[in-house]
Amino acid sequence: MKSLLGGTCVKIVTLVIIVLMSSSQSFSADTLPLTGHAAEVYRRAQGGRWFADAAKLNPEVIPTSDSQSFIVVWKAAGTVPKHWIVSLHGSHGFATDDLALWYPHIKNLDIGLVCVQWWIGTDDTNKAYYAPMQVYREIDIALQKFGVQPGTVMFHGFSRGSANSYAVTALDAGRGKHYFSLSAASSGGVGLDYPPTRAILEGKFGDHPLKGTRWITVAGAQDSNPDRDGIPGMRRTAAWLKEQGATVIETIEYPKEGHGALMLNPKNVRHVLDLFLNERH
């Protein structure tokens, strides 16, 4: 009897180990529809701080149209969300970490999430990131895939993602599908000498493409680069947006946080989500 029970226990333990190994591999680059450079970028993402938390959510990971990167999409199983967030991470960031950070705030809401892995290199040069037109191309493809309707999306950019959010939103409003009803610029001010911003001012995305767009700006008083990304920088950005004909519906300034004042404070996130879900045009 002892040997029989012992053998049974060994088999159960072995089965559990196999299941656990399979589950841990199910979110690996080798088992996803990613090849070449996209698979390599995804492997780097596996080293992200919150990758393990993202993996537990079993999101859909899809390759970009040029096979250079990937997009992470999450929505509650069996649902067709009425609202969506598209999130653009900061320097040296990962879409999987963006998912993990947003999830606790949207898990009980009628919101789907699209996170774009737009850092496709290994350094911090502009060539290591998708340009705004490439970012928007992939957003458009992903939103079409999931049947997302115009005017149902909040576009969020953090840090470097925020600095590029002005051009991406200009593309959506001036040349695109008008998906974005609201854009949230978090800790990343506009740079007038930055090539994507110059493209806006030169009319490459349409005539006054930011006119009529709606914005929330967020900044922390403890930001290490206050004139660019902190409260002074984001106040300057809000004023510039208004000069472009945009509406800044809210300016959030948090005295106790630095870079990343939005996601580091749950109250700020809830406030932004309330503004998004309850906005009236």
The rounded distance, in Å, linking the Cα atoms of 200 and 119 is: 22
The rounded distance, in Å, linking the Cα atoms of 226 and 216 is: 18
Q: Which residues contact 117 (CB under 8 A, 6 or more apart)?
A: 41, 42, 45, 64, 69, 70, 71, 72, 89, 94, 95, 96
Q: Which residues contact 159 (CB under 8 A, 6 or more apart)?
A: 89, 90, 91, 93, 186, 187, 188, 229, 259, 260
User: 25 with 39, same domain?
Assistant: no
The rounded distance, in Å, linking the Cα atoms of 63 and 70 is: 4
pLDDT at 13: 42
The rounded distance, in Å, linking the Cα atoms of 205 and 218 is: 25
Q: For residue 15, is pLDDT > 50?
A: no
Residue-number span of the structural domain to which 265 is assigned: 35-277
Model pTM above 0.75? yes
pLDDT, one tens digit per residue, over 49-106 is: 999 999 999 999 999 999 999 999 999 999 999 999 999 999 999 999 999 999 999 9
User: 24 with 130, same domain?
Assistant: no
Q: What 3-state DSSP class applies to 82? A: coil
Q: Which residues contact 203 (CB under 8 A, 6 or more apart)?
A: none
The rounded distance, in Å, linking the Cα atoms of 165 and 234 is: 13
pLDDT, one tens digit per residue, over 193-229 is: 999 999 999 999 999 999 999 999 999 999 999 999 9
User: 52 with 130, same domain?
Assistant: yes
User: 106 with 123, same domain?
Assistant: yes
User: 9 with 61, same domain?
Assistant: no
User: 114 with 207, same domain?
Assistant: yes
User: 58 with 174, same domain?
Assistant: yes
Q: Strand 111-116 and strand 70-74: pairing?
A: antiparallel
Total number of domains in the chain: 2
Query: Which CATH number is 164's domain given?
Result: 3.40.50.1820
Mean pLDDT over all residues of the chain?
A: 91
CA distances from 134 to 11, 23, 127 (A): 51, 33, 12
- Ranked by mean pLDDT, the top range of 15-19, 30-34, 259-263 is 259-263
User: 130 with 25, same domain?
Assistant: no
User: 25 with 124, same domain?
Assistant: no
User: 168 with 125, same domain?
Assistant: yes
Q: For residue 5, is pLDDT > 80?
A: no
pLDDT, one tens digit per residue, over 233-276 is: 999 999 999 999 999 999 999 999 999 999 989 999 999 999 99
Q: Using pLDDT thresholds of 50, 70 and 90, give the confidence band for residue 33.
A: confident
Question: For residue 55, what is the enclosing H or E element?
Answer: helix 51-55
User: 18 with 46, same domain?
Assistant: no
Which one-letter DSSP state was computed for residue 85? E
User: 143 with 222, same domain?
Assistant: yes
